[in-house]
Amino acid sequence: MTSLVRGRPATVKDVARHAGVSASTVSNVLHGRSSVADEIRARVEAAIADVGYVPSAAGRLLRSGTSEVIQLALPDIRSPYYSALAHTVIQRARDLGMTVVIEETDGAVEQEQRVASSHPHRGVGGTLICPMSLTSDDLAELRPELPTVLLGEHTQGDAFDQVFIDSRAAARDVAAHLVGRGRRRFAFVGTERGEGTGPGALRLAGVRDVLRAEGLDLPDAAVLGTPDFGRETGISVGEGLPVGEDGFDAVVCATDELAVGVLHALARRGVDVPRDVAVTGWDDAPESRFVTPSLTTVAHDLDDLAAAALGFVTARRADPARRPGRHVSPHRLVVRDSTRAV
């Protein structure tokens, strides 16, 4: 049981204040370092008891050297969605006494093979991978030596534990919101390379579901494939996009980064968002709240996603023959100014 100082668990700082020593000295005592004078050590130990300080389980694991490593493989840590995902996995893993190695794959098949088929050092206990190029069959052929969990919708199959959101349902939420705000002339920005079974394709399918039910058209010319999902690409798209009375009145982007680029290009052209055209993104990246206008987007529940992924690693280690599981993580439409009623 953790004692409380003013309603919160006691910390090293509380111990230090109580003992009249520095936090570093407390840390030295906790780590059993020999440099601490006996008198100081006794004083610190008394203070630990007095304030009821309990080292965290994670801290104990770390000090005992038994902490485990989880490998998280993603395309690029600089992408706001992936850095938010990494943050949540790191936090959740720390709660479990684990640390996280980040591997960047750039979405390239060779890098994805590398992380899926090798464990980079001793002590790695599992791999979470966001594949962009490898299919589930490719991965199965690689036979990863470690418990491996697929994150995201890029690979559907039944050989691995998987965690993802229902992208098609989320896209239906986006489209229904826009139709409800009177939008009729849709464009869709951002479909991936390859056979089109990834999130871009799923998101497009969800938009089509709604438009079809409303008797609205989404001609091929309104579906803009992009070489990547970044801001620069969004700018290129936004520079040429016909919008307003003679063009589109709603632009659904497959990522926030694309949408931020589109908004930037439209602002330079003097287009008023949302009056002339509504714009939506995907991922609820932090900047989606701070661009002007703020961006309507799809939010993930990263805590749920990270907990499910790490849970799959633990379960598979307990039972390697376990049937692969699928966890559909919740999503939520976040409505902001870029789709305001006009």
69 lies in the binding site for its own copies (CB under 8 A): yes
Our CA angle for 167, 171, 174, nearest 5°, is 140
* Whether the Cβ atoms of residue 254 and residue 229 lie closer than 8 Å to each other: yes
Name which position in 96, 216, 267, 334 contacts its own copies (CB under 8 A). Answer: 267
| Residue number, 142 or 223, with CB nearest to its own copies | 142
Distance from first CA to last CA of the chain, Å, rounded? 55
Distance (Å, whole) CA 27 – CA 32: 9
Q: Which of 269, 326, 260, 331 is nearest to 292 (CA)?
A: 260
3 lies in the binding site for its own copies (CB under 8 A): no
| Residue number, 186 or 229, with CB nearest to its own copies | 229
* Whether the Cβ atoms of residue 73 and residue 112 lie closer than 8 Å to each other: yes
Distance (Å, whole) CA 323 – CA 125: 19
Residues 6+ apart with CB under 8 A from 105: 73, 74, 75, 111, 112, 114, 115, 129, 130, 131, 132, 133
- Span interacting with its own copies, options 18-26, 181-189, 214-222, 309-317, rule CB under 8 A: 18-26
59 lies in the binding site for its own copies (CB under 8 A): yes
* Whether the Cβ atoms of residue 297 and residue 135 lie closer than 8 Å to each other: no
182 lies in the binding site for its own copies (CB under 8 A): no
- Span interacting with its own copies, options 65-73, 161-169, 178-186, 323-331, rule CB under 8 A: 65-73
25 lies in the binding site for its own copies (CB under 8 A): yes
Q: x/- site string to its own copies, residues 306 to 335, per CB under 8 A?
A: ------------------------------
236 lies in the binding site for its own copies (CB under 8 A): no
Name which position in 17, 114, 317, 340 contacts its own copies (CB under 8 A). Answer: 114
Q: Which of positions 117-176 make contact with its own copies (CB under 8 A)?
A: 117-123, 134, 138, 141-143
| Residue number, 90 or 334, with CB nearest to its own copies | 90
Q: How many residues does the chain have?
A: 342
Type of residue found at 281? G
Q: x/- site string to its own copies, residues 243 to 262, per CB under 8 A?
A: -----------------xx-
Three-state secondary structure readout of 22-57: CHHHHHHHHCCCCCCCHHHHHHHHHHHHHHCCCCCH
92 lies in the binding site for its own copies (CB under 8 A): no
Type of residue found at 217? D
Residues at the interface with its own copies (CB under 8 A): 11-13, 22-25, 27-28, 31, 33, 35, 59, 62-63, 65, 67-69, 76-78, 80, 83-84, 86-87, 90-91, 94, 99-104, 109-110, 113-114, 117-123, 134, 138, 141-143, 231, 235, 260-261, 263-264, 267-268, 286-287, 289-292
